[in-house]
């Protein structure tokens, strides 16, 4: 089920921050009321598509910061695995240089609460609980507003890398809507004309386009 319009599930978990420091009880609550949050999940450390996405977020970090947004990554790996990957050079498959937090969801509860765990628990004929599927997170991105509400979510399967540019465009749409009360049509980007949320407003927009 979608989390859009609902409070983002809270959590406390270990994380690596600033590319090097381990924080045992990281929480997003510190940003509520102050920042937009881009919270994204990826399947695993030391893989193939994942570092391209993580580094792409880092390259655009200043763009998110300009929009009063923080970026937070999460996978089911341990914080020790995150730390080691963050110390590994890019030409060795690492993500050295990434400075935003990477959360360790070893219990898989964060992924499960956000509905992005690639599998679920079932039971054997003897009543024993077993996990069916792959116990990692899909490539999911959530945009959380300053009130802590999820305003956007997108989930990709393992082999499909996400678009960081589209995340920025969607965040811009949310910010514009909140500031001006006008809605953003298909393919809207910063600087484009938006629409008044009335039938006349839609008709006026369509007549121009």
State the pairing for strand pair 129-137/36-41: unpaired
**Alpha carbons within 13 A on the beta-carbon side of 28:** 30
Identified catalytic residue from 16, 37, 50, 70: 50
- Residue 50 annotated as catalytic: yes
User: What's the gap between Cα 4 and its chain centre?
Assistant: 13
* Rg of the chain in Å (alpha carbons): 19
3-state SS assignment for residue 26: strand
Q: How far apart are CA 45 and CA 48, in angstroms?
A: 9
DSSP assignment of 57-91 = HHHTHHHHHHTTEEEEEEESS-HHHHHHHHTS-GG
Which sequence positions are flagged as catalytic? 50
């Amino acid at each position: 089920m979608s989390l859009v319009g609902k409070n983002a599930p809270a959590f406390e978990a270990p994380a690596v921050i600033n590319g090097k420091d381990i924080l045992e009880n990281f929480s997003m609550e510190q940003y509520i009321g102050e920042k937009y949050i881009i919270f994204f999940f990826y399947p695993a450390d030391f893989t193939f598509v994942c570092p391209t996405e993580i580094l792409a977020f880092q390259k655009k970090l200043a763009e998110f910061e300009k929009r009063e947004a923080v970026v937070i990554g999460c996978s089911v790996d341990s914080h020790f695995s995150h730390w080691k990957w963050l110390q590994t050079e890019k030409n060795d498959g690492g993500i050295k240089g990434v400075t935003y937090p990477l959360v360790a969801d070893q219990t898989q509860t964060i992924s499960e609460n956000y509905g992005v765990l690639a599998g679920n628990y079932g039971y054997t004929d003897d009543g024993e609980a077993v996990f069916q599927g792959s116990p990692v997170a899909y490539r999911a991105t959530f945009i959380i507003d300053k009130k802590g509400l999820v305003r956007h979510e997108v989930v990709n399967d393992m082999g499909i890398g996400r678009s960081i540019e589209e995340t920025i465009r969607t965040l811009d749409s949310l910010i514009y809507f909140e500031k001006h009360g006008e809605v953003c049509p298909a393919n809207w980007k910063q600087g484009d004309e938006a629409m008044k949320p009335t039938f006349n407003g839609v008709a006026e927009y369509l007549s121009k386009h």
